[in-house]
Amino acid sequence: MMSTDLYSINTELKEVKRLVGSYQFQISNKREDLDRLERALTELELTKGDYYETEDECSKPEFTPKTFHGDQAKGLTSLKEEELRPSFALISEEQITKAVEKIREQIKLLQEQIGNLGSSITSLESQQRSLNARKQEVKN
């Protein structure tokens, strides 16, 4: 229904402005979330390589009574076999890949939401121009 009185037009304009502001605020928040997710994804992918290099380094050193004094070699070998290796096994390639996929899905979802909000703002701004034109007609 097209408003023809100034009060109704002003009320509609106020609502359109409120919605535009709300959508702009949502876009801002979603862009911040998007930035955080993109940084997290980059860090995860960089860390993934470091992680596997560290795993290799932790499992490579062999400790013998010749390289370490007597029982200390047994203690370090035990630490490596009983604690370090199982710790690395807990985080599998599959888990890291799933985390990367989930982050990418969330990034895509946020990008779509930002796009939809942007389209809504464009539509509201068009509505706002139309209301302003009608407001001028009613005033004259």
The angle subtended at Cα 101 by Cα 96 and Cα 103, nearest 5°, is 95
Backbone torsion region of residue 45, taken as left when φ is above 0, otherwise alpha when ψ lies between -120 and 50, otherwise beta: alpha
- What is the number of H-type helices and E-type strands within the chain? 4, 0
Band the pLDDT of 40: cuts 50, 70, 90: very high
pTM for the model stands at: 0.68
The percentage of residues in the chain with a pLDDT greater than 70, rounded to a whole number, is: 66
* Dihedral angle computed from the Cα positions of residues 65, 71, 75 and 81, in that order, rounded to the nearest 10 degrees: 50
Band the pLDDT of 11: cuts 50, 70, 90: very high
Per-residue model confidence as pLDDT tens digits over 45-96: 887 766 666 655 555 555 554 555 555 555 555 555 565 655 665 666 778 8
Band the pLDDT of 113: cuts 50, 70, 90: very high
